[in-house]
Amino acid sequence: MKLIKLGLRIYIAISTVFGFLVGWILLAHSGKPTANNVAAEGAQAITSYKLDPLPPVPSLNDLVSGAPLKPLPAPQTFNVQPSSGFSPRFRSGGSR
């Protein structure tokens, strides 16, 4: 029994190292996922979307002195679509 456990452990160790090395080689020789022009277009699209700047953070002196803080802008709201009411039930047929 000990010989079978030892053989199994050696087999698992060798196959793990072999699988890691094969994956490393495949990853090293694979091409880039996107071309440079596609990446540049995507970056341009991302930077063209502008967000409103955040208000400045009050300093510690402003907070301690008790000076009135500027009111915060209203939070951005999102429209949420109502769900269709579908809720799948998972029944495994196990104990009841």
| Residue 55: closest CA among 71, 39, 79 | 71
- Mean pLDDT check: name the lowest of 29-43, 44-58, 72-86: 29-43
Does the pTM surpass 0.75? The reply is no
Looking at residue 12, its pLDDT comes to 97
Looking at residue 14, its pLDDT comes to 97
The SS3 of residue 46 is: helix
Per-residue pLDDT at 25 exceeds 90? yes
Mean pLDDT value of segment 39-68: 68
Residue 22 sits at φ, ψ, to 5 deg, of -65, -45
- pLDDT category of residue 35 using cuts at 50, 70 and 90: low
The SS3 of residue 43 is: helix
| Residue 67: closest CA among 58, 77, 75, 80 | 58
Residues recorded for the chain: 96
Per-residue pLDDT at 40 exceeds 80? no
| Residue 46: closest CA among 56, 38, 35 | 38
